[in-house]
A and B are shown apart, each in its own frame.
Chain A
């Protein structure tokens, strides 16, 4: 399963911790993300997604640990020329016109691409002379995207970019995002609540829960690593060899039936040892099922795929 593309890593997080006054928002977060991926960061509210994005955008200082973006440590101010960040509420100056908002990008960014930004704004029929405060939510998000892409970033950080959009605008803007990211080879890291959106758009995943990284890796490797086993419960419990020989992520027993989400470590038998007459069913789960199981069981061991693993020694 090792797909070690040699080359630059868009993100290398090494043992990042962030403590707010009372609680840890992020704990021993270590992973790396290859350049050119569209990566989703998934997790319940308060999982540490916004904290991580804030650290990457230099808005939040980590308590300990290091973070490199494109090989440059995040405490080097020049990192901001390579990274674009879009906050959840997409702050823009409401009294600025769209043209002035783009001028803001031009004035503050040396690598600004005016033609690209204007093309993005224009393709959504957003008038350049309109004040930002008069635009609809979708149009405003489009302007914010234009500002982010006009910066020509190597890495685009998006904090729940689609959460406040209607389905039509969401569809339109996710198309725009993927097309622009593919055209310029931009690495995208976006946090999201919408699992269907994640499944459609992203080829890499980070799952956070309770401030810890639960899962990290390419989508097409994470799914085959999981198996959903259903069958007859033994003494009202999940057959014990599933937990002993494999990694049990989540299990449920309802009546005489059990269902268990496991990560297979080696070949999976087709029936329990205790009751050889009752074979279980093994299925490949959907990504959504895996994500839900992973978020529901914060105590299950984390799965960090080799490609995403950050060697602390290195």
Chain B
């Protein structure tokens, strides 16, 4: 009788959703239960919020022309702050996951010595490592996919209005489509690898935070605009323009000669006789470089491919390191 009671206690004491999980998967779930449940709950809450915001947004947009100037003003005052805080939150997701889930994943086991406990049970080191990486990363993929899809559903109807229509550098590019998933996976893998190398939880978290910041900086400054070929439109120097779609993102402006030779935008501006200077160089046009909205998905998938390749590389390094040293 007493044994039966104990087994029952053991069953209930081990927590929610542990029922179908067995072996190393149960162990990994139990180890990271708090973090993973928090992640899932935050995801669901955020998705609920996005859905609620979409109801309001659709009511507001109902049948209006999203290009109108007056609408932009109105939109900014009613939804501007909601969109920018949604985007800020989603931009932080990869960093938070990398620091609080990725970095301690292996370093905590090393620091406390529990790696010696789990790897001296009857299951092999390889199986333990596979479960340790697979279960949390699967939850990460599911949660970030959900966040990204639901946010995209909210954002798409207002894509030319939210954050001034700048989908490239103001956030939407990084938090919709597959990019959010890939970026989170990559930074988390980097956190795991750093934890494996540093072997201490807190230093690993700090270094992961710095690395994430550096990666985000490089990503924003250098990588994003390389993912697509900017289009350009030319219009007369003194004429009106450029006539861009409201959802196009302006990258750069130039001045150009009739045969298309480009000069910096401020060429001749500070000259004593600007008109004479321009005439001498043959400048007759202005040129605007931009990305149009239809390029966004292609650029996102290209970026995703690069990030996933890097993720695979980092994870392969972790597996190689973890398997190589002890038997």
A81 to B121, CA, bound (A): 7
> Which B residues lie within 8 Å of A61 (CB)?
325-327
**Additional A-B contacts beyond A57-B116, A128-B13 (13; CB < 8 A):** A59-B120, A61-B325, A74-B327, A83-B120, A85-B116, A85-B120, A93-B31, A99-B6, A104-B121, A107-B24, A128-B10, A151-B121, A151-B122
> Which B residues lie within 8 Å of A58 (CB)?
119-120, 326-327
The answer to whether B326 and A60 have CB atoms under 8 Å apart is yes
Kindly state whether residue B231 has any CB partner on chain A within 8 Å: no
The answer to whether B3 and A118 have CB atoms under 8 Å apart is yes
Kindly state whether residue A100 has any CB partner on chain B within 8 Å: yes
Interface of B toward A, CB cutoff 8 Å: 3, 6-7, 9-10, 13-14, 22-24, 26-27, 30-31, 112-124, 325-327
> Which A residues lie within 8 Å of B22 (CB)?
107
The answer to whether A108 and B6 have CB atoms under 8 Å apart is no
> Which B residues lie within 8 Å of A74 (CB)?
327
Contacts A59-B116, A75-B327, A96-B30 given; does A108 touch B14 at CB 8 Å: no
The answer to whether B117 and A92 have CB atoms under 8 Å apart is yes
The answer to whether B14 and A99 have CB atoms under 8 Å apart is yes
The answer to whether A107 and B327 have CB atoms under 8 Å apart is no
> Which B residues lie within 8 Å of A89 (CB)?
113
> Which A residues lie within 8 Å of B120 (CB)?
57-59, 80, 83-85
The answer to whether B116 and A91 have CB atoms under 8 Å apart is yes
The answer to whether A87 and B116 have CB atoms under 8 Å apart is yes
Using an 8 Å CB-CB cutoff, how does the interface string of A203-217 with B read, 1 for contact, 0 for none?
000000000000000
Contacts A100-B10, A128-B9 given; does A108 touch B30 at CB 8 Å: no
Using a CB-CB cutoff of 8 Å, which residues 94-152 of chain A contact chain B? 94, 96-97, 99-100, 102-105, 107-111, 114-115, 118, 128-129, 147, 151
The answer to whether B13 and A100 have CB atoms under 8 Å apart is yes
> Which B residues lie within 8 Å of A99 (CB)?
6, 9-10, 13-14
> Which A residues lie within 8 Å of B118 (CB)?
104, 108
Interface of A toward B, CB cutoff 8 Å: 57-61, 74-75, 77, 80-81, 83-85, 87, 89, 91-94, 96-97, 99-100, 102-105, 107-111, 114-115, 118, 128-129, 147, 151
> Which A residues lie within 8 Å of B3 (CB)?
115, 118
A77 to chain B: closest residue by CB? B124
A77 to B120, CA, bound (A): 10
Chain A min CB distance to B320 (Å) = 15
> Which A residues lie within 8 Å of B326 (CB)?
58-61
Residue from B10, B31, B124 with most neighbouring chain A CB atoms (10 Å): B10
The answer to whether B24 and A108 have CB atoms under 8 Å apart is yes
> Which B residues lie within 8 Å of A75 (CB)?
327
Q: Sorted from nearest, which 4 A-B pairs have the closest CB atoms?
A: A91-B113, A108-B121, A99-B10, A85-B120
The answer to whether A100 and B113 have CB atoms under 8 Å apart is no
> Which B residues lie within 8 Å of A59 (CB)?
116, 119-120, 326-327
A114 to chain B: closest residue by CB? B7
A87 to B118, CA, bound (A): 12
A109 to B118, CA, bound (A): 11
Chain B min CB distance to A57 (Å) = 5
A89 to B118, CA, bound (A): 14
Give the contacting residue for B121; candidates A60, A96, A109; CB below 8 A. Answer: A109
